[in-house]
Amino acid sequence: MSGFVVWFTGLSGAGKSTLAALLASALRGRGVHVEVLDGDEVRTHLSKGLTFSREDRDTNIRRIGFVAKLLARSGACAITAAISPFRAIRDEQRAQAGRFVEVYCCSSIEALAARDPKGLYRKALAGEIKGFTGIDDPYEEPLAPEVVVYTDRETKEESLAKILATLEQREYIAARAASAVQLSSLAAPHGGHLALCRVAGERAEALSEAARALRVIELDAESEVDVELLATGAYSPLEGFLTSKDWLRVFAEMRLENGLPWPVPVGLPVSDDVARDLRPGAEAALRSRDGRLLGVIDVSDVYCPEELVRGRTMVGPFGEADPEMLRQRARSRLFVGGKVRVFGEHALRNGVEVRTPAETRASFEALSLRFVAGMRTRVLPRRAEEHVARMALDVAGGLLWQVLDGSDRVPLPARLSCHEVLIQKYFPAKRVVSTAGLGGFAVGSRAAIVDAIVCQNHGCSHVVLGQGTNVDVRDAFRLFAPGELAIVPLVFDDAGFCSATNSMVTARSVPEGAAMATLSEAEILDKLAASEPISGDVVRDEVVGVLARALTTTDGTNVELATRP
């Protein structure tokens, strides 16, 4: 394989050198020729005599980048581990290297200061040291690194797994044969393997260039999410948007044409004008709402759902009032089906960490978790959600808590912070993996099944579905033979805190005459806005602290984790 550069960046003490050494060892074990350019070592040899002025810092990074480029050109993997605080210089090295993976080692100043054996952060914060990067000297965070590792809350093994998964996905290194054996301890992806529709490296560059000359299909919000879920394998076994044959069978039986269970008709809506220019065998570019080209679809057919069902006695398993099929048929007159190849990313991935199925599977393996319950949620983590998450954790032994975008009143970064502060203090860190996620637009029982499949593709053995006695969800799973869906649904009743029992209860377990303390998300936010107190029986104080800070910012991106007073 051709050479490449892995460029670690981050503040002092963030774990760059440690992860660089671990990565070098792992790659050498796979037969890759690796050379590590550590920032401290380079300054004692190649950059000896340089100061820490802006000009000399840039010179130091350019020297590291030049050597890394030569190593990559010769077919080796060059791993660099230097603070490299300035974005423009890092981007300059990216442009010169070609095959380049930027790894941002992210950690809070508080965590860095707490584990700093020399006390440098403490002295810098006290003003005893001047020109300390990240304190009184600037560090410019990467805008779109290929990998972000959160070294203040991830194990070294988890961080390493994320980096290796990215290198494999970009085809910079071959996937280890042993990985398939190790992953067999987790639930297999739906269909047997992760269907990854994202291309990388030189293939992505060539496809991106070719897409500029193709007819363009404008994506709506739902299709943008679908493209990203297809790209990462979260929608496995799908390799693209459904063709007319798949659409019909999904509508009638919740199965693809090949017989595999699949509940939702993931189609690509297209206007009449664009449809007239599309023929089977043609290619079309996929453009996001913000004007970026994301990928290419190989057109198999263009179809009209209303014409497909006209004259057929088809009502589907949930009858004529099936909310998802009514929604789909009202969405567009025409749809395009065909395989997709994706080279761009959903805009959400620029703002928060979204772990792919390959990454969550790697995390589960690193944590030695064989059974994991998946919980995809759009609501704030009240005590009720905490109670459900804890029960799911008790059942499975591991938990994937995937935070989806909810109401506009709380931005996704703040929602994720609410969950993270809860997990850090009240859950076992080595049994819970949290991440932001992309939620589909489907509704009803079909949506519950697709959520289950997405969780299975992420490596989960169990899935938490719609808290409450949702008979439709249970009935939907019974439509398939045992084993057709390799994931176990967990459906819990809504819970609340009961002062009479001093515990969480449900409608089934609450004593007669006693009440359950609970508030909706809207009620919680209204109370916060009005500066009214919120009972810790409903929401943890730490979560309220995060929310209070989020409501004072414009977009939620500057939220800091709150601590109990």
- One domain for residues 232 and 255: yes
Last residue of a domain, one of 175, 210, 240: 175
Position 480 in a domain: yes
Active site residues: 84
- One domain for residues 384 and 452: yes
CATH of the domain at 422: 3.40.50.620
Could you tell me the CA-to-CA distances from 44 to 23, 35, 40 in Å, in that order? 23, 17, 7
Instruction: Please check whether residue 287 is in contact with residue 217, taking contact to mean a CB–CB distance below 8 angstroms.
Output: yes
CATH of the domain at 214: 3.10.400.10
Torsion region of 76: left, alpha or beta (phi above 0 gives left; psi -120 to 50 gives alpha): beta
pLDDT in tens, the chain (565 residues): 589 999 999 999 898 988 998 898 888 878 899 999 988 778 877 888 888 788 888 999 999 999 999 999 999 999 999 999 999 999 999 999 989 999 999 998 988 988 876 788 989 998 898 889 989 889 999 988 999 999 888 888 889 999 999 999 899 998 765 433 343 478 889 988 889 999 988 899 999 999 999 999 999 999 999 999 999 999 999 999 999 999 999 998 999 887 889 999 999 999 999 999 999 999 999 999 999 999 999 999 999 998 988 877 667 888 888 899 989 888 999 999 999 999 998 877 556 878 999 999 999 999 999 999 999 999 999 999 999 999 999 999 999 999 998 778 888 899 999 999 999 999 998 999 999 998 888 888 899 999 999 999 999 999 998 744 444 677 888 888 777 888 999 988 889 999 999 999 988 899 999 999 999 999 999 999 888 999 999 999 999 999 988 876 544 444 333 333 3
Could you tell me the CA-to-CA distances from 260 to 147, 202, 355, 560 in Å, in that order? 33, 33, 25, 44
Position 188 in a domain: no
- One domain for residues 382 and 506: yes
- One domain for residues 335 and 389: no
CA distance 457 to 229: 11
| Beta strand 34-38 pairing with 77-81 | parallel
CATH of the domain at 16: 3.40.50.300
Q: What residues contact residue 250 under an 8 Å CB cut-off, 6+ apart? A: 242, 256, 262, 263, 264, 265
- One domain for residues 232 and 376: no
- One domain for residues 274 and 370: no
Q: Taking CA 92 as the corner, what is the angle to CA 168 and CA 16, rounded to the nearest 5 degrees?
A: 55
- One domain for residues 148 and 229: no
Q: What residues contact residue 41 under an 8 Å CB cut-off, 6+ apart? A: none
Q: What pLDDT score does 435 carry?
A: 93
Burial class (CB in 10 A: 0-12, 13-18, 19+), 242: buried
- One domain for residues 163 and 273: no
CA distance 547 to 552: 9
Q: What pLDDT score does 507 carry?
A: 86
pTM of the model: 0.69
Q: What pLDDT score does 308 carry?
A: 87
Look up the domain containing 527 and give its range: 350-437+443-565
CA distance 363 to 365: 5
Position 222 in a domain: yes
Position 187 in a domain: no
Q: Which residues of 458-477 are buried (b: 16+ CB within 10 A; e: fewer)?
A: bbbbbbbbbbeebeebeebb
Position 180 in a domain: no
CA distance 531 to 547: 12
Last residue of a domain, one of 346, 375, 392: 346
Number of domains observed in the structure of the chain: 3
- One domain for residues 554 and 411: yes
- One domain for residues 233 and 335: yes
Position 12 in a domain: yes
- One domain for residues 380 and 335: no
Last residue of a domain, one of 128, 159, 175: 175
- One domain for residues 277 and 418: no
Q: What pLDDT score does 562 carry?
A: 33
